[in-house]
Amino acid sequence: MSKPKILLAFSDTVRQRYVDEEQLRRLESFATWDWFECDGGGILRANQDQQVAADVAQRIGAYDGAILCHGAPRFDASILDHAKKLRIIGELEGDRFAARIDVDAAWARDIRTVDTTNASSYPVAEWALGLILISLRNIGTQFRRVLNGEPRDRDLKPYRGVLRGRRVGLIGCGNMGRRLISYLRPFDVDIWVHDPYLPREMADALDFLQTSLDNVLTQCDVIVCLAPLTPATRGMIGKKEIDSIQPGAAFVNVSRGAVVDSTALIERLKKNDITAGLEVWDPEPIPEDSEIRQLHNAFVTPHSSAHRGDEKNEFFELIVDEFDRFFHGHETKFDLTPNSKANRTADPLPDR
């Protein structure tokens, strides 16, 4: 049988940053590929150039799969009507559901849709664990005491101390949350999760308690915000929710700053009865006059934990994995589905 043909549609910048020769050789072991170089749009915006879309539409009929990233036009009905052989579309990077895939149009044509933007979730999950450990021990305050030449405070408060045996609550449990759960297991913690979009069987598969947002906020020693920023989650953790956090708890946010009411969090931290580990903030960069800079019980980092510290990134490797599975008759792992679409767009959940 002939190998499937894959169209790579993205900019030269994407090719230089994401595509390495080792992964191209892996792709070539089971498929042939062509690169359609295109520039325009951005992380969350498709290329709006109508000529580029027309050029893709003219070419797409020859391909069994397509891999998209920055620079590609939106693969909607105007393109997919020409894609008689197309069986799978993959998005490399775009904070999930970037504008480059019209998923409804693809599903109507029985085209599989996958998204490997979760490659950036894995290093962030590591840092989430780091911020949990830092926040439980109120390292923000301890670090400042060391810099100021102050003696150790044996009665430092708030101070929850060790992670082992604590109850950790996750708000959101996508790829990042599930990776974080694997990192938490050696600490023998009790894990509670609030995520209304999760399949019910996930709780049994990963051994956590699925519960309400209120239960996570009021009954957990550690609260980790992992929810994506959507119309439903913007400002989801407001003053009422922040005030309900039990004294002594550690609050960690590694998702998006706008999920949390910054003013309300500052006011709660000023009471000095909780700690916080914050990888993100609203707005970013943090304004010079923001009080969060002065609060010792907050440990703040500059939304940088997705960077691995080397030239490697996993986006293209994961997409090659997905296409390898698909074209060898296996199930893909990172499907875009009606359920995940509802999560990102705040639409009602589809029937389960």
Note the pLDDT tens digit of each residue in 273-295: 999 999 999 999 999 999 999 99
Q: Which residues contact 2 (CB under 8 A, 6 or more apart)?
A: none
Residue range of the domain that includes 59: 5-116+314-345
Q: Which residues is 114 bridged to in the sheet?
A: 90, 335
Contact (Cβ atoms closer than 8 angstroms) between residue 300 and residue 252: no
Q: Where are the beta strands (DSSP E) in the chain?
A: 5-10, 32-37, 65-68, 88-91, 112-115, 167-171, 190-194, 209-210, 222-225, 250-253, 275-278, 298-300
Rama region for 269: left / alpha / beta (φ>0; ψ in -120 to 50; rest): alpha
Residue 307 placed within a domain: no
Rama region for 239: left / alpha / beta (φ>0; ψ in -120 to 50; rest): alpha
Q: Which residues is 32 bridged to in the sheet?
A: 5
Same domain for 212 and 249: yes
Contact (Cβ atoms closer than 8 angstroms) between residue 75 and residue 106: yes
- Name the phi and psi angles at 19, rounded to 5: -100, 115
Same domain for 247 and 133: yes
| CATH number of domain containing 224 | 3.40.50.720
Confidence band of 308 (pLDDT split at 50, 70, 90)? confident
Six token digits for residue 234: 């913007």
Same domain for 134 and 195: yes
Residue 26 has pLDDT above 80, yes or no: yes
Residue 288 placed within a domain: yes
Confidence band of 345 (pLDDT split at 50, 70, 90)? confident
pLDDT at 255: 96
Same domain for 322 and 225: no
pLDDT at 351: 58
Q: Is 237 helix (H, G, I), strand (E, B) or coil?
A: strand
Query: Helix 121-136 crosses helix 139-147 at what angle (to 10 degrees)?
Result: 70
* Number of domains into which the chain is organized: 2
Q: What is the mean pLDDT of residues 1-28?
A: 94
Eight-class DSSP state of 281 = -
Residue 94 has pLDDT above 80, yes or no: no
Same domain for 137 and 44: no
> For 175-197, how does the pLDDT look when each residue is reduced to its tens digit (9 = 90+)?
999 999 999 999 999 999 999 99
Pick from 4, 348, 35: nearest CA to 197: 348
Residue 145 has pLDDT above 80, yes or no: yes
Residue 306 placed within a domain: no
Same domain for 324 and 202: no
Residue 1 has pLDDT above 70, yes or no: no
Q: Is 0.85 surpassed by the pTM of this model?
A: yes
Residue 133 placed within a domain: yes
Alpha-carbon gap, residue 304 to 312, rounded angstroms: 16
pLDDT at 23: 95
Same domain for 26 and 77: yes
Residue 6 has pLDDT above 90, yes or no: yes
pLDDT at 264: 98
Q: Radius of gyration of the chain from Cα atoms?
A: 22
What is the maximum span of the chain, computed from C-alpha positions, in angstroms? 73
Q: What is the mean pLDDT of residues 188-216?
A: 96
Q: What is the mean pLDDT of residues 39-58?
A: 95
Over pLDDT 90: what percentage of the chain?
Answer: 88
Residue 239 placed within a domain: yes
Residue 160 has pLDDT above 60, yes or no: yes
Residue 207 has pLDDT above 80, yes or no: yes
Q: What angle do CA 315, 321, 323 make, to 5 degrees?
A: 105
Residue 352 has pLDDT above 60, yes or no: no
pLDDT at 243: 98
Query: Helix 315-327 crosses helix 21-28 at what angle (to 10 degrees)?
Result: 10
Residue 99 has pLDDT above 90, yes or no: no
Contact (Cβ atoms closer than 8 angstroms) between residue 174 and residue 224: no
